[in-house]
Structure 1
Amino acid sequence: MFITLKPHKPHYENVPFEIPSSWEWTTINTISKSILYGVSESAKTNGKYRLLRITDIQNNSVQWDSVPYTDFDENKAKSYLLSDGDILFARTGATVGKSYLVQGLTEEAIYASYLIRVQTYDAVLPQYVKFYFESGYYWEQIEQGSVGVGQPNVNGTILGNLHVPIPPIHEQFRIVSELSKWMGIIDIIEMGKTDLQTIIKQVKSKILDLAIQGKLVAQDPSDEPASELLKRINPKAEFACDNGHYTQLPDGWTIAPMQILCSLIDGDKQNGIERVNLDVKYLRGERDAKTLTSGKYVATKSLLILVDGENSGEVFRTPIEGYQGSTFKQLFINENMNSRYVLQVINLHRRILRENKVGSAIPHLNKKLFKAIEVPIPPYKEQQRIVETINKVFMSLDLIMESL
C-alpha cells in the first residue's frame, strides 16, 4: 500500500526547518500502517515464540540466542509477530526513545509491552525512518514530549505525532545508502577509538607498575635511603627491602604496609554550625547537596576516600569545608611521604580493592586489605622524581584521550 503525500508548501506556518521542494513534512502516524504496543507476557526458557524485551536491545543490536521464549496464544500472536523492517521503540525507562530496526530474523518472535512497533507504508523506507530516529531533531521532540518524573515515558500518541521530513522514495534510497556508508566508517573509527582508550589505560597501569619497581626513573645514590625516612614515621617498626611481590628493589628502597604510611579516620564532631553535607554526588559536581548543623567536620582540600559503593577506593580532594558524608573516610598521609606518590600506589591497587570489597546490599571498601597493601618506598627525592615523570607522561596520554 502506498500513501499519497500532499504537495510541499515551502513556507507554511510552524515548519520546523526548511526542506527541499520535493520533500514533505508529515507525522509518524501518517507514514505508518501500524503503531502497536507489545504484549504483557512472562519470559520462559522454552516456548513457541521468542519474546524480545527492552533489555535485549543493546547498542542497536540483539543477541537473539539469549532472548527468552514465551507461549503466546497463536490466534493473537499474528498481530505481534515481528518482521524484517519493523521498528521497535522503547516507550519507558532509562532507554526511552531508543529504537531498533528488525533485520535478519531467523525464527518467530513477538515483542514485550514496554516496546512499541512501528510498521511503515511501502512509500517510506524503514531504514530511512530508523536514521530519523537517531537524529538530533527527533531527540529534541522526544525530550519535549516525554512525561513522568521518576520514570519518563513516551506513549503511542506522542510517538505518532512526531514530525518527520519525508523525501521521495528514490532519494530515501540514496540517503540510506550514503548514511550507511558513513556510519560504517564511523563505526570503524569508534572501534579504533575504543581500542586506543584500552591501550592507554593499560599503558598508564604499566607506568605505575614500573614506578613502584624502581624502573621508571634513574636512581641517585646520594639520596637518603627510604629506611631513614621510615624511622621518622615509626622508629620501632621493622621494614623489609624485598618480599614475594617486589623482589630486587633498588638500593635505598624499602617496603612497608599502607597502615604505616596513612590512616582512615572520621572528622571531629561539631554542633551548631551550618555546613554543606559532603557526599560523592556533591564532590562530583552535582551542587544540590543539603546543609547540616552538626556532623564530622572536614576542612577544605582534605583527602576523602570512598568506602561505600561500586567505586570503593576512589580518592577525592574536597573543594570546600563541610560535614563528612557516610560514604567517605578522611585519608591522612604521613607528612614524611610524598602524598602524590602514595595516591598513585592506591590507584594501582584500586582494581584489587574493588574485587575484594565486602558488604551485601552496599559494597564496602575492605579496610583490612587496604591497610595491608605492601608499598614499595623509594627515597623521598626519588618519590618526587617518579611523580613528576608520571604526571608528564600521563598529561601526554590524557591529551590523546581528549582528542579522540
Structure 2
Amino acid sequence: MNAQQLKNSILQLAVQGKLVPQDKNDEPASVLLERIKAEKQALIKAGKIKKEKPLAPITEEEIPFDIPDSWEWIRIGNISSMVTKGTTPRGGNVSYLESGIGFLRAENVAGLDRLDTAKMNYIDEDTHNGFLKRSVLEENDILITIAGTLGRTAIVRKENLPLNANQAISIVRLINTDYFDLFYLICAINSPIIQKMLTLQKKITAIPNLTLEIVSDCLIPIPPLSEQKRIVAKIEELLPYIEKYDEAETKLTELNTKFPDALKKSILQEAVQGKLVPQNPDDEPASVLLEHIKAEKQKLIKEGKIKKEKPLAPIAEDEIPFEIPESWEWCRWGDLSQSIQYGYNAPAKQSGRIKMVRISDIQDNTVLWDSVPYCDIDESDIETYLLQANDILFARTGGTVGKSYLVKEVPEQAIYAGYLIRTRYSNSLCPEYLKFFMESTLYWTQLRNGTIATAQPNCNGKTLSNMILPVPPLEEQKRIVAKIEELMPFIGNLTK
C-alpha cells in the first residue's frame, strides 16, 4: 500500500466498526438520532429552520456494507439544519482583495480536515454581510467540494472566521454539533466506499459537479457518540505514522526515480576515470595511439581530404578535473577528430534521392528512418554531408542541445540537417567509447560551460572541439564498452 491507500484502509475500517471495539454500555446511535429528529422538529416549529421535503427512507439496496448493531445509517440531510452552497460575486459586484475576509474556493478545501489559506481570495466586510450573506460560514460548518475535484472536506473552526465560500463548496450545518464528533463525520465522508457512493452520482458537465440533493441524500454510518470519540482517538493516533510513512514513501519514490540515472552517471564516471575495468600492462599506451591518429590526420590534410585547422591550445593543468591511469592521455576532441562539420540546410520533402536526418528524427538513440524526409542537394555537396557508420551526430541547439547519436548503420544514402554537427574520427578509436563519454558528467559539464544562453540555447563546433576527454588504450576502450554494455540492461530493468 502507498500512504493514501493505507489511510483509506483505516478510514474504511473505522466506518465499518472494525477499528475499535464496541462497548455494550454505549448509548446506541438510534437513541441519538431520535433526539436529533425531535430537536429538528422543534426548530422547524419555532421557525428557526425551514421545513423541507422529507428525504426518502433508506432501502436495503442502498446500504453498502454491514455495521454493528449499535450503529445506524442516516442521510446527511436528516442530521442537518441546512445543506446549501456558497455564492460567487458576479459582474461588477465585488473585487477580490489581498486581505480582508477569507473567501474560500474549492482548492482551499484541501481534504480530510484541512483548509489551505495560502492562495485564498479576500472580500470586504460589506460584501461578506451583504451580497454574500447567504454563504457566511459559521463555526463547525462542514464543507464539501461539489465542483471540479469532488468530495474534499474540511471543518470550519473558530480561528478560521470570518469566512465566506463560493458555489463550488457545499455547506452542511448540523442540527446540534454536541451529538457528533465532527472529525468522525469528516472521516466517514472521506472513507473510500462513501466517497465512491457520493461521487459516482456526479453530473457530467464541462466541470464535474455534485448537486445539493446528492450531498443531502448521501448515507453515512453513525456509531454511538462514545464510539465516535474512540474511533477519532485511534485515527488521530495513527495519522502521524501515516504521515511519516508518506514522507518515507515519497523519499523512496524519489530515490527510485533518480537512482537509475544516478547509477548510470556513476558507471560512466568510473569508466572515464579508468576505474571500471582493470588496466592491462600489455596494452599499447594511449600516447602511441594519439601519435598514430595525429600522423593519420596529417596525411588526410596533405591529400586534401580534410581541412587544416588552427591548432588548439595545449591542455593546461587547471583544466584537468581528475587523475587518470598512466597508460591514458588527455586530449581535446578537436585533435582526436578528423572533422567537425555543421549540417546542411534545406527544406524537407516527401520524396527524393537523399534523405536528411533532423534532430526530431533521433529518438532514444535511434534514427526513425521511416519518418526521415528527403531534401534537394547539389551533387557536388553530397560527399561533404553524407553520413557514414560510426559518425557521431551532436545537437547544437534547442531543448536537446548536446544530445549525441552514434550512427550504427545508414540503410540508404542520407545527409544531416543544419541543427546537427557531425564529428568523424579515426578508425583507430572505439566509437562506442566516444559515445559513452558524450553521456558522462565530464562531457555535460563542459557542454554547459560552453553553451550560449539564449531563447534557444545553442552550442557550437568550437565548444565541442575544445572539450577535453580522457583517452585509454584502444583495447581498454573496448573492455570499458563491453563492461558498460553488460551493466546497462540491469539499469534499464530498474526503471520498469
Q: What TM bracket, shorter-length normalisation?
A: 0.5 to 0.7
Which residue number corresponds to residue 195 of structure 1? 255
Matched, 1:232 2:293: yes
Matches within 5 A, 1:297-336: 305-315=394-404, 329=420, 331-332=422-423, 334=425, 336=427
SS in 2 for 1:246: coil
Q: 1:314 offset after TM fit, Å?
A: 3.7
Match of 2:456 among 352, 363, 379: 363
Partner SS state of residue 255, structure 1:
strand
Q: 1:364 Cα deviation (Å)?
A: 1.9
User: Is residue 273 of structure 1 aligned with residue 348 of structure 2?
Assistant: no
Residue equivalent to 1:47:
99
Instruction: Please give the alpha-carbon distance, in whole angstroms, between the structure 2 residues aligned to 1:19 and 1:370.
Output: 67
Mapped contact 2:147–2:209 kept (Cα < 8 A): no
1:86 alignment partner, SS class? strand
Tell me which protein shows more strand as a share of its residues.
1
Contact conserved, 1:87 with 1:126, CA < 8 A, in 2? no
* Structure 1: unaligned runs, 5 residues or longer: 13-17, 92-96, 148-153
Q: Deviations over 1:95-122 (max 9, x none)?
A: xx48755579765687998x93244576
Q: Which residue of 1 aligns with 2:83?
A: 33
- Matching residue of 1:375: 469
**Corresponding residue to 1:215 among 250, 272, 275:** 275
Letter in 2 for 1:339: P
In the superposition, the TM-score normalised over structure 2's length comes to 0.52
Count of residues paired in the alignment: 378
1:117 aligned onto 2:169? yes
Q: Does residue 251 of the first structure (1) align with residue 308 of the second (2)?
A: no
- Tell me by how many angstroms 1:197 deviates: 4.1
Q: Cα distance 1:249–1:322, how it changes in 2: closer, same or farther (>3 A)? A: same
Structure 2, unpaired ranges of 5+ = 1-35, 38-53, 175-179, 299-310, 378-384
Matched residue type, 1:7: I
- 1:8 aligns with 59
Matches of 2:413 and 2:199 in 1, distance apart?
39
Q: Deviations over 1:43-90 (max 9, x none)?
A: 76x522567778989999999685476454443566376988534577
Alpha-carbon separation, structure 2, partners of 1:281 and 1:161? 52
Instruction: Give 1 or 2 for the bigger CA radius of gyration.
Output: 2
* Structure 1 residue identity aligned to 2:420: K
- With 248-257 and 302-311 compared, the bigger mean Cα shift is at 302-311
- Give the CA deviation at 1:273: 0.1
- CA distance in 1: counterparts of 2:321 and 2:109, whole angstroms: 46
- The answer to whether the Cα contact below 8 Å between 1:6 and 1:24 also exists between their aligned partners in 2 is no
Per the normalisation by structure 1, the TM-score is 0.61
Task: Report % sequence identity.
Answer: 15
Please provide the CA RMSD for this pair: 6.1
Which protein has the bigger helix share?
2
Deviation at 1:381, TM superposition (A): 2.2
Structure 2 residue matching 1:33: 3-state secondary structure:
strand
Counterpart AA for 2:221? P
**1:380 offset after TM fit, Å?**
2.4
